[in-house]
């Protein structure tokens, strides 16, 4: 049967006018110097599963490793606060709290004056009225043109404290203030605080409402929550949705502080001494409250409900909570130590629950984290030298089986208000506030908040070339090739540690295993497996030309497949429409080729590897770079290989690899990027371009803060002065020619003007789609690998 199928394949190849090289699957001896490979089944899936085990183990190990980042000084409260300053600054950076906020005197009241309202009925712009407070719809500036928006509850008499009360992302300010249904009265904590004389600001968070996203005028694509939709471009540009929401909250703290200073100057407020600013939140609001208090010591008391606990499974949570490097230095216990010695009240009572499907967006489960009490105990252990007690717990049952879960309960509020200097007995009013004007539209407000964040990301996108230009200035100012090579090493180190992420493990001994698996009349193919890290191995197919002579050393081309591809796709005809069997064709031309299995296979199975790597400050390429280093190390040990002539040639996701792996694996003497080279930052962050990843199912594709550091021209600068080439089809939907040409022009300038090596940089344009063309690139390989073309 196998012979019959092979004959049919060869016949089809001949009738279609393509070369009739069809590899035959065989079984044979291993390569000399290797053990026999006995692995069966889907080796690619086994590789992904092994990497998954490795990353989960790294997540567990991260807890004990965090201590290396901390130098806590317990000699005095002042010394302690100074010693955690660097950690606080790093937290701000990874959360994207990096922009200067807009100063303002007071929030803007949104509303229409009701002329018929009598003075006894309260302020003419109020939208609601409680027993001893009024409610206003307000907005306030945060950064640039991004505003916070929500409700402000103002007591009629003297206020006793300023509070920011933050609902969960699936709740509205109206619900926790008692102006709308959806939250039980026992959990309307914003109005409870106002009942007790606090001025309370309730910001709106971006919701988890889902919708299919698409460029203007096109049908919907990926089904994303509002939060993921805002997260995607922001993350690429070094901000993040959490960062935007923190800026809105911290802008409110700015206002509270400014107002308090004015009140003290006028003598209308008691002298400083008692805590006066508090922040409290539930669910997503609890996250924002915890992070805000950790960042800003002006917040005197923090209350967290429905959030605090172990973050070791953060990769399962909604992707908008993805923070690059979070678990490397921080868990909730570490954030608690940034709040100390101020009061942190943790309510372990109920948690938002939701399951997000995999319909183009990142699948996620929102549920109670494990070990809230253990996390507080861990924080107290970390704070063994601080006298003041860190956290207090308030436990309560959920209530009747079908009743809504409760939060913001009296015990938690008593601890929270008590530390603010408010009377210890919490007053509970049975009278909810009532609407006195109908101007608050949560749906329209939500859309305004989304639109402002997206517009700001597009401003950052437009500014990003100038930011990168300044970032790369030290390299672009180099006058000689030697100086360039020296300075480029500094940028490679930054790229390796801050962008790609590097595991500080030595490579395992490769322990190569192989088996003869494929054969044509021109070459023999061996499946090869190499050990890399514990549970991590590299796998690929080595093709050795049959005309190799004893003692001869030849160049190697490492031929990299694209998304959901396999090594078999690039050596044979099964994916000829995309790959043109380019590894097999190059082997026919006399090159040794190696086709690695990269890890982007298995859909959510591999995409969740990125979710697990990112909180460690790592990426998929944190695994693929050492895999390729091990491949090069092993290839260089083969007697048939010239170690100075090993090239990289990748298509699509393999083209992404061509931009990220050769800068760090310097054994690659040249790199060819096919069907991927682009204005990459624009492709990932644009909310206008139809080819943008903002609209698609590749939720793992976004890389932290590339906008400020490395677009493709900057990555190519790290490949230089080694030869570099782009292969681009005019009909390739990954981008448009104009963007590709503009980004490539920056690379060409480096080679032409700065390095004066114009022959080492090239682009081939061809009339065709997303595929290997194999014309100019093959010539480029022959030229720079110094291997004669076939006659």
Mean pLDDT in consecutive groups of 10 residues from the start of the chain, 791 residues: 32 32 71 96 98 98 96 90 97 98 95 57 82 95 98 93 97 96 93 94 98 90 97 98 98 94 71 73 98 97 94 97 98 95 90 95 93 88 64 41 66 88 78 80 96 98 98 97 98 98 97 97 98 98 97 98 98 91 98 98 97 98 98 98 98 98 98 98 97 96 98 98 98 97 98 97 98 98 97 81
Q: Do 451 and 511 share a structural domain? A: no
| In a domain? residue 24 | no
Q: Do 485 and 387 share a structural domain? A: no
Chain centre to alpha carbon of residue 185: 37
Pairing of strands 128-129, 434-435: antiparallel
Q: Do 311 and 269 share a structural domain? A: yes
Among 422, 437, 461, residue at a domain's last position = 461
Q: Do 444 and 485 share a structural domain? A: no
| In a domain? residue 33 | no
Pairing of strands 761-766, 668-674: unpaired
CATH of the domain at 633: 3.40.50.1820
| In a domain? residue 28 | no
Distance CA 270, CA 156 (A): 18
Question: Among residues 369, 227, 368, 345, which one has the least CA distance to residue 279?
Answer: 345
DSSP H or E run through 531: strand 523-533
Distance CA 306, CA 284 (A): 8
| In a domain? residue 39 | no
Distance CA 736, CA 248 (A): 37
Distance CA 582, CA 649 (A): 10
Write down the pLDDT at residue 388: 47
Tell me how long the chain is. 791
Q: And the tokens for 338?
A: 């940034």
Q: Please state the domain count of the chain.
A: 2
DSSP H or E run through 594: strand 592-596
| In a domain? residue 100 | yes
Among 435, 461, 487, residue at a domain's last position = 461
pLDDT tens-digit profile of 513-570?
999 999 999 999 999 999 999 999 999 999 999 999 999 999 999 999 999 999 999 9
Q: Do 355 and 429 share a structural domain? A: yes
Q: And the tokens for 251?
A: 């802008």
Q: Do 488 and 352 share a structural domain? A: no
Question: Among residues 562, 572, 592, 450, which one has the least CA distance to residue 518?
Answer: 572
Write down the pLDDT at residue 783: 98
SS3 assignment, position 418: helix
| In a domain? residue 681 | yes
- Please name the residue ranges forming H helices in 599-736: 604-613, 621-637, 653-660, 680-685, 712-719
Give 420's DSSP letter. Answer: T
Q: Do 495 and 452 share a structural domain? A: no
Q: Do 559 and 418 share a structural domain? A: no
Q: How many CB atoms lie within 10 A of CB 171?
A: 24
Q: Do 542 and 404 share a structural domain? A: no
Distance CA 663, CA 495 (A): 9
| In a domain? residue 15 | no
Write down the pLDDT at residue 114: 59
Give bridge partners of residue 672 from the DSSP assignment.
649, 725
| In a domain? residue 642 | yes
Write down the pLDDT at residue 2: 33
Q: Do 397 and 362 share a structural domain? A: yes
Q: Do 111 and 205 share a structural domain? A: yes
Q: Do 441 and 308 share a structural domain? A: yes
Q: And the tokens for 553?
A: 């050393």
> Global pTM?
0.93
Largest CA-CA distance found in the chain, in angstroms, rounded? 103
Write down the pLDDT at residue 496: 98
Residue 268 structural domain: 70-461
């Amino acid at each position: 049967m196998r012979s019959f199928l092979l004959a049919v394949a060869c016949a089809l190849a001949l009738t279609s006018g393509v070369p009739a090289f069809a590899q035959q699957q065989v079984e044979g001896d291993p390569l000399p110097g290797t053990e026999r490979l006995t692995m069966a089944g889907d080796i690619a899936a086994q590789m992904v599963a092994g990497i998954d085990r490795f990353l989960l183990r790294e997540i567990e190990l991260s807890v004990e490793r965090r201590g290396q980042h901390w130098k806590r000084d317990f000699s005095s409260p002042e010394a302690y606060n100074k010693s955690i300053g660097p950690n606080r600054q790093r937290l701000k950076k990874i959360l994207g709290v990096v922009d200067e906020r807009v100063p303002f005197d007071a929030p803007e009241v949104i509303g229409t004056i009701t002329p018929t309202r009598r003075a006894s009925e309260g302020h003419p712009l109020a939208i609601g009225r409680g027993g001893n407070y009024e409610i206003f719809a307000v907005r306030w500036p945060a950064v640039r043109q991004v505003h916070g928006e929500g409700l402000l509850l103002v007591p009629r008499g003297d206020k006793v404290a300023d509070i920011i009360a933050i609902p969960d992302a699936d709740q509205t300010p109206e619900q926790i203030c008692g102006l709308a249904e959806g939250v039980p009265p026992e959990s309307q904590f914003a109005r409870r605080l106002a009942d007790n004389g606090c001025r309370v600001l309730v910001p709106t968070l971006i919701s988890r409402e889902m919708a299919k996203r698409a460029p203007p005028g096109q049908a919907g694509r990926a089904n994303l929550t509002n939060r993921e939709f805002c997260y995607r471009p922001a993350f690429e540009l070094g901000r993040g949705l959490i960062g935007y929401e923190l800026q809105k909250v911290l802008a409110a703290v700015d206002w509270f502080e400014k107002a308090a200073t004015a009140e003290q100057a006028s003598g209308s407020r008691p002298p400083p001494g008692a805590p006066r600013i508090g922040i409290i939140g539930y669910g997503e609001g609890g996250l924002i409250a915890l992070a805000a208090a950790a960042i800003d010591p002006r917040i005197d008391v923090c209350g967290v409900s429905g959030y605090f606990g172990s973050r070791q499974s953060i990769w399962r949570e909604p992707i908008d909570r993805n923070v690059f490097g979070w678990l490397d230095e921080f868990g909730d216990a570490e954030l608690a130590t940034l709040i100390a010695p101020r009061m942190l009240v943790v309510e372990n009572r109920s948690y938002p629950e939701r399951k997000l499907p995999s319909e183009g967006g990142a699948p996620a489960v929102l549920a109670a984290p494990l070990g809230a009490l253990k996390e507080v105990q861990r924080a107290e252990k970390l704070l063994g030298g601080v006298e003041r007690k860190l956290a207090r717990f308030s436990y309560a049952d959920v209530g009747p089986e079908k009743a809504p879960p409760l939060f913001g309960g009296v015990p938690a509020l008593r601890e929270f208000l008590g530390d603010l200097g408010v009377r210890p007995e919490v007053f509970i009013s049975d009278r909810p506030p009532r609407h006195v004007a109908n101007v608050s539209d949560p749906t329209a407000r939500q859309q305004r908040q989304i639109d402002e964040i997206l517009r700001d990301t597009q401003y950052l996108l437009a500014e990003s070339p100038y930011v990168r230009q300044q970032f790369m200035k030290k390299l672009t100012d180099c006058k000689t090739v030697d100086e360039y090579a020296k300075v480029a090493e500094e940028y490679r180190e930054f790229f390796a540690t801050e962008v790609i992420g590097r595991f500080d493990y030595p490579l395992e001994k490769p322990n190569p295993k192989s088996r003869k698996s494929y054969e044509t009349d021109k070459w023999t193919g061996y499946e090869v497996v190499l050990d890399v890290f514990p549970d991590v191995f590299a796998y690929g197919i080595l093709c050795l030309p049959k005309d190799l002579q004893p003692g001869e050393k030849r160049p190697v081309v490492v031929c990299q497949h694209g998304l959901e591809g396999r090594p078999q796709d690039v050596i044979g005809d099964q994916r000829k429409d995309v790959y043109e069997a380019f590894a097999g064709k190059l082997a026919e031309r006399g090159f040794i080729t190696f086709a690695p299995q990269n890890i982007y296979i298995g859909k959510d199975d591999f995409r969740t590897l990125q979710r697990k790597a990112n909180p460690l400050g790592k990426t998929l390429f944190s695994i693929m770079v050492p895999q390729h280093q091990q491949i090069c190390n092993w290839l260089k040990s083969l007697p048939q290989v010239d170690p100075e002539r090993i090239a990289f040639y990748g298509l699509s996701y393999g083209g992404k690899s061509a931009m990220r792996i050769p800068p760090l694996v310097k054994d690659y003497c040249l790199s060819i990027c096919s069907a991927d080279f682009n204005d990459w930052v624009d492709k990932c962050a644009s909310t206008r371009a139809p080819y943008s990843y903002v609209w698609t199912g590749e939720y793992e594709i976004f890389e932290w803060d590339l906008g400020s550091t490395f677009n493709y021209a900057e990555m190519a600068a790290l490949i230089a002065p080694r030869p570099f080439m782009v292969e681009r089809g005019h009909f390739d939907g990954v981008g448009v020619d104009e963007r590709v040409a503009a980004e490539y022009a920056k690379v060409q300038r480096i080679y032409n003007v700065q390095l004066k090596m114009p022959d080492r940089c090239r682009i081939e344009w061809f009339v065709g789609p997303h595929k290997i063309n194999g014309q100019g690139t093959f010539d480029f390989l022959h030229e720079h690998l110094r291997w004669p073309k076939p006659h």
